[in-house]
Structure formats: structure tokens, C-alpha cells
């Protein structure tokens, strides 16, 4: 499922529509997915209003409000209008960069689409079977690798 399909499906759900009736100023802030294989059909989609974050869970079968929490700081709106890179492509780009660095096998993938400083970014993290973590930030409009970091998950004292 691509990002627009995820948002369209969520925003057409009865649960979201009931919530949106009371939260007119809420805006999309992020899409989160965590998986073991190539991709996932499970997503956490979060909206921001005031200083409150409301998260909805969705998978192939259901959609429901997962939780509400307070934010310590304002969050930027995620604008998907000019999105040129979908999750699968972002993970592929990050995986290629990770394999050039380490060659390790990936045990878990975490993907977050969010607006940090310069527009929409895919924040892709891999946890390796050797307990290392690789993080890549990929411009979600152009597909360019913006930054990367690699290191041990646990530090020795």
C-alpha cells in the first residue's frame, strides 16, 4: 500500500471520521511501520493538534484509534503532496547503503515518514543480527540519502 492509499483508507474509516469531527485542526504528522521482512501492512498514523498526538493503528483488516499522548514540543505537519518516494523504495535505498557499510543481516526494520527540518523524510533504521543499528534519512520527495549513522546498539562500559 502506498502512502496516499494508507491515508485515504484511514481518513475514510468510521473511527477517524468520528474523531475528526471533534478535532478540526489536527494534521498528519507521521507514518510509522516496523517489520522483519521486506515490508509491512501494519501502520501507526499520527496526527497532531495543539500539543496532543493521536495515533491510529491500521492493518489489512482493521483501523482503530490506538492512543493519545501529550507532546513536549510542537510538531511540523507532514505534507505528502510532493511525495516521490514510497516506503519500499526508501527501504531499498537504505538497505543498499547499509550493506555497503556492513554486509550484516537485518533483523528488524523501523520506518518513519515525518517532517523534520527540510520537508518530508523517510527515517529508516535497521537493527542487525549482530546488535548494530544503522539509520538513514532519505528525502521523501527526491530519494536522496541525506544522512546516515551506524554503530553498536549496546556500548561496553
Per residue in 2-56, pLDDT (tens digit) is: 999 999 999 999 999 999 999 999 999 999 999 986 667 899 999 999 999 999 9
The pLDDT, as a whole number, for residue 38 is: 67
* Integer Cα distance of 117 and 131 in angstroms: 29
When mean pLDDT is compared across 105-109, 115-119, 120-124, 129-133, the lowest value belongs to 115-119
Q: Hey, what's the cell of 85?
A: 518516494
Measured distance CA(108)–CA(133) in Å, rounded: 10
The pTM of the full predicted model, rounded to 2 decimals, is: 0.92
What does the pLDDT look like over 61-99, one tens digit per residue?
A: 888 899 999 999 999 999 999 999 999 999 999 999 999
Report, in this order, helix, strand and coil percent for the chain, each rounded to 5: 20, 40, 35
Contact 140, 89 (CB under 8 A): no
CA-wise closest residue to 139 among 147, 129, 149: 147
DSSP 15-76: HHHHHHHH-TT-EEEEEEEEESSS--S-EEEEEEETTEEEEEEE-SS-EEEEEEEE-SS---
Amino acid at each position: 500500500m502506498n502512502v496516499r492509499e494508507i491515508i485515504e483508507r484511514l481518513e475514510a474509516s468510521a473511527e477517524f471520521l468520528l474523531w475528526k469531527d471533534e478535532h478540526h485542526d489536527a494534521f498528519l504528522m507521521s507514518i510509522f511501520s516496523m517489520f522483519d521482512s521486506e515490508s509491512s501492512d501494519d501502520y501507526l498514523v499520527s496526527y497532531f493538534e495543539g500539543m496532543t498526538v493521536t495515533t491510529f493503528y491500521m492493518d489489512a483488516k482493521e483501523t482503530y484509534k490506538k492512543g493519545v499522548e501529550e507532546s513536549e514540543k510542537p510538531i511540523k505537519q507532514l505534507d505528502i503532496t510532493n511525495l516521490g518516494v514510497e516506503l519500499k523504495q526508501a527501504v531499498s535505498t537504505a538497505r543498499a547503503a547499509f550493506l555497503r557499510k556492513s554486509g550484516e543481516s537485518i533483523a528488524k526494520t523501523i520506518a518513519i515518514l515525518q517532517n523534520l527540518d527540510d520537508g518530508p523524510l523517510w527515517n529508516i533504521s535497521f537493527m542487525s543480527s549482530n546488535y548494530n543499528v544503522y539509520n538513514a534519512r532519505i528525502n521523501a520527495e527526491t530519494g536522496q540519502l541525506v544522512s546516515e549513522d551506524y554503530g553498536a546498539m549496546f556500548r561496553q562500559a
